[in-house]
Amino acid sequence: MALDDKAKEALKFVQDGYDKAEEEVDGWFVRNKLSVAILTGVAVGIALLAIAVLALL
């Protein structure tokens, strides 16, 4: 059960981060697609790292 809770917590953390990044990106998405791609990659990398760390706890 504890692992299930940690997975839910990690998923919520990732979703919140994605939503926040999406809001920030919406304003200048058309102007700078390369930066958006880079930031998205960084955000996904951080999210995967967070999931891995929470899975190890």
Q: How high is the mean pLDDT in each 10-residue block of the chain (57 residues)?
A: 74 80 66 75 89 86
Q: What is the pTM of this model?
A: 0.41
- Predicted local distance difference test score (pLDDT) of residue 11: 79
Predicted confidence at residue 26, as pLDDT, reads 65
Give the number of other CB atoms < 10 A from CB of residue 20: 11
16: nearest Cα among 8, 4, 28: 8
**Residue ranges per structural domain of the chain:** 2-56
Shortest CA distance to 54 belongs to which of 43, 20, 46, 16? 46
Residue 17 confidence (pLDDT): 76
SS3 annotation, 22-35: HHHHHCCCCCCHHH
Q: What's the angle, vertex CA 46, arms to CA 30 and CA 37, rounded to 5? A: 20
Note the residue count of the chain.
57
Note the pLDDT of residue 5. Answer: 81
